[in-house]
Amino acid sequence: MNLLEVIPIAVLGGLLGLDVVSFPQAMISRPLVAATLAGVLVGHSASGLLVGAVLELIALETLPFGASRYPEWGSASVVGGAIFASHPSHPAGAMTCAMVAALATTWIGGWTMVKLRQANATWARDRRDALEAGSRGAVTSLQLMGMTADLVRGAVLTGVAYALLAPLASLSIARWNVDARLSRSMAVAIAASVAGGAAWKLFHATLGARWFFVGGLVVGLFWLFVR
């Protein structure tokens, strides 16, 4: 791996990391989109979509409520998507390794977001007098500084995570001993369990939601087994 491979991934991670909170929150940072875009960059969009869908199942649990601390999926999904798409034949363990890489990055990404928010507070304190005096420059520069820092945060995180985790993933895939289909089944079962738990937490209080869920499940299972 060389710098020319890492830089486009890092730039994409930076842009999608920015979308999580700072700008424009259009959800291009959701795993379904971010991992697919990383797949496009690596040359295998379908692989990106596949791992993006699995990560999206997990991400359903972590929605960006207010001031809560949550994992950062934008940059992490780029790392996971790029790692999986760089093994386009989908060898045994590729999906599991890509998911572990994405989850590790999302964990660290959440921590970097907290640090960024603390830095924003420090920069705001440094400008308190100017802000209290109604300075246009202070308001605008604080906003631009926060967004620039977020962009850099996402890009550095993605670049470092990809550079470190992609070779580790390749090494693990080369030594993988478990059947490919079994490995993938276990990975998706874990992701879907998180999605099932998350959906229950979100909708169980909604009147009639259980029956709507059962209705949907019947349709889904019927479709799955008849096609």
In this complex, which beta carbon is closest to another protein, that of residue 4 or of residue 134? 134
Tokens 């470190």 found at: 164
Among 149, 150, 160, CA closest to 6:
160
Entry field: residues in the chain? 227
Instruction: Give residues 30-89 in contact with another protein (rule: CB under 8 A).
Output: 30, 32-33, 36, 39, 45-46, 48-50, 53-54, 56-67, 71
In this complex, which beta carbon is closest to another protein, that of residue 6 or of residue 21? 21
Q: In this structure, what token pair is assigned to residue 226? A: 């008849």
In this complex, which beta carbon is closest to another protein, that of residue 10 or of residue 165? 165
Least CB distance to another protein at residue 3 (A): 27
How far, in Å, are 138, 166, 187 from residue 101 at the CA level?
Answer: 39, 8, 13
CA 216 – CA 227 distance, rounded (Å): 17
Instruction: Give residues 144-183 in contact with another protein (rule: CB under 8 A).
Output: 144-147, 150, 172, 175-178, 181-183
What is the CB neighbour count within 10 angstroms for residue 99? 21
Q: Does 7 bind another protein (CB under 8 A)?
A: no
Q: Does 1 bind another protein (CB under 8 A)?
A: no
DSSP readout, 146-180? HHHHHHHHHHHHHHHHHHHHHHHHHHHHHT--S-H
Work out which of 8, 88, 108, 124 binds another protein, going by CB under 8 A: 124
Work out which of 15, 41, 97, 166 binds another protein, going by CB under 8 A: 97
Least CB distance to another protein at residue 135 (A): 8
Cβ contact 101:169 at 8 Å:
yes
CA 45 – CA 37 distance, rounded (Å): 7
Q: Which stretch binds another protein (CB under 8 A): 6-14, 78-86, 159-167, 210-218?
A: 210-218
Q: Largest Cα–Cα distance of the chain, in whole Å? A: 69
Least CB distance to another protein at residue 97 (A): 6
Least CB distance to another protein at residue 4 (A): 25
Least CB distance to another protein at residue 7 (A): 24
Q: Does 221 bind another protein (CB under 8 A)?
A: yes
# residues contacting another protein (CB under 8 A): 112
